[in-house]
């Protein structure tokens, strides 16, 4: 394994941070590292908002499900899918705007994810810990108003950054053969592999939470996928101009 591989395999979300500030220049370098990611059709459909104001941060933390780390992280960024900026090129060149297809929504959202993950890897390489915050989609309208997001821009997730004040274990992932298939999709043999993996996850949670909840992966996912999940998103996206034609 080379150094980059080692770094990737050592990832774990960090939710407790020291008081050490993140150097402004380092932060700018991280966002530039994000910009260096591949971008669909060269659209560059992502915008990053750094939230510094304590009141605004406090409000976001509450809206994102009262997550303590959103409140306490030295840096908090909101990563937005942005079709407004590329859309304004149509105006400039006197072309009709048709950037409201589902495909454009996918392009911009994928751009955000690729940019973010580049930022995360760059941050971890600099000794920082990070935690993505999908919780901002609990109340996307309020978050968008707080950040003054115009039509054509939506908040995909937040990102907490800071120097780690905890050292959690790496969370075990599904066995490779469950995820990597040859030629065609097949789930043959996966039930057994997943059953074995479930025990690994159960043990991971048991030791990590001090004998607390020994839930397994399948049970956790069943809980998630058997309930409605942010049903407001469809209307919110439509209102923001992501009409999914
Ligand atoms: C898009 C996205 C949104 C997430 N949202 C949250 C969140 O709101 N709060 C949180 O504490 N963790 C959040 N996470 C972190 C995941 O829970 C975490 O990545 C997952 O459990 C795997 O653990 P690991 O990152 O330590 O390997 C999010 C992760 C992703 C990729």
Residue with tokens 């459909």: 45
Closest Cα to atom 8, ligand 1: which residue? 133
CA of 159 to the centre of ligand 1 (A): 10
**106-138 pLDDT, tens per residue?**
999 999 999 999 999 999 999 999 999 999 999
CA of 156 to the centre of ligand 1 (A): 13
Atom of ligand 1 nearest to the CA of 113: 1
Closest Cα to atom 29, ligand 1: which residue? 132
Structure confidence at residue 98 (pLDDT): 94
- Structure-token pair, residue 96: 């009709």
Pocket test for ligand 1, best of 76, 81, 124, 132 (most atoms within 8 A of CB): 132
Instruction: Give the span between the Cα atoms of 118 and 36, in whole angstroms.
Output: 8
pTM over 0.95: yes
Structure confidence at residue 212 (pLDDT): 62
- Structure-token pair, residue 71: 């409140």
**147-165 pLDDT, tens per residue?**
999 999 999 999 999 999 9
Q: Which residues line ligand 1 (CB under 6 A)?
A: 11-13, 15, 67, 131-135, 157, 171
Rounded mean pLDDT, 232-245: 97
CA of 94 to the centre of ligand 1 (A): 42
Q: Looking at the chain, list the stretches that DSSP marks H as alpha helix, in order from N- to C-terminal side.
A: 3-9, 24-35, 54-63, 68-72, 84-92, 102-125, 140-146, 176-179, 190-208, 217-225, 233-239
First vs last Cα of the chain: how many Å apart?
A: 45
CA of 131 to the centre of ligand 1 (A): 6
CA angle, 83 then 87 then 92, to 5°: 155
Neighbours of 178 (CB within 10 A): 15
- Structure-token pair, residue 151: 């039509």
Residue with tokens 């109340």: 139
Closest Cα to atom 28, ligand 1: which residue? 132
Instruction: Give the span between the Cα atoms of 81 and 108, in whole angstroms.
Output: 5
Nearest to 242 by CA among 150, 146, 158: 150
Neighbours of 126 (CB within 10 A): 16
Instruction: Give the span between the Cα atoms of 150 and 109, in whole angstroms.
Output: 16
Rounded mean pLDDT, 221-236: 97
CB-CB contact of 189 with 176 (8 Å): no
Domain boundaries, the chain: 3-170, 176-214
Is pLDDT above 70 for 40?
Answer: yes
Structure confidence at residue 131 (pLDDT): 98
CA of 115 to the centre of ligand 1 (A): 16
- What CATH class has 3-170? alpha beta
Determine phi and psi for 189, rounding to 5 degrees: 80, -5
**165-216 pLDDT, tens per residue?**
999 999 999 999 999 999 999 999 999 999 999 999 999 999 886 656 789 9
């Amino acid at each position: 394994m080379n150094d980059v591989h080692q770094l990737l395999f050592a990832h774990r979300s960090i939710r407790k941070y020291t008081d050490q500030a993140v150097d402004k220049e380092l932060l700018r370098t991280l966002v530039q590292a994000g910009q260096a990611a591949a971008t669909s059709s060269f659209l560059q459909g992502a915008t990053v908002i750094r939230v510094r104001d304590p009141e605004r941060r406090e409000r976001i933390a509450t809206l994102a499900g009262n997550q303590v780390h959103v409140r306490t992280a030295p840096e908090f960024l909101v990563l937005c899918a942005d079709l407004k900026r590329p859309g304004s090129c149509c105006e400039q060149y006197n072309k009709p705007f048709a950037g409201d297809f589902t495909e454009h929504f996918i392009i911009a959202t994928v751009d955000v994810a690729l940019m973010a993950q580049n930022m995360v890897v760059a941050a971890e390489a600099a000794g920082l810990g990070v935690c993505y915050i999908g919780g901002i989609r609990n109340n996307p309208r309020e978050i968008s108003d707080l950040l003054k997001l115009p039509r054509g821009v939506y908040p995909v997730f937040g990102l907490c950054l800071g120097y780690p004040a905890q050292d959690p274990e790496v969370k075990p992932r599904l066995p490779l053969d469950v995820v990597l298939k040859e030629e065609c999709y097949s789930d043959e043999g996966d039930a057994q592999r997943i059953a074995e993996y479930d025990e690994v996850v159960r043990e991971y949670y048991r030791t990590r939470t001090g004998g607390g909840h020994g839930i397994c992966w399948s049970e956790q996912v069943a809980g998630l996928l058997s309930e409605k999940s942010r049903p407001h998103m469809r209307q919110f996206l439509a209102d923001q101009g992501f009409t999914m034609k």
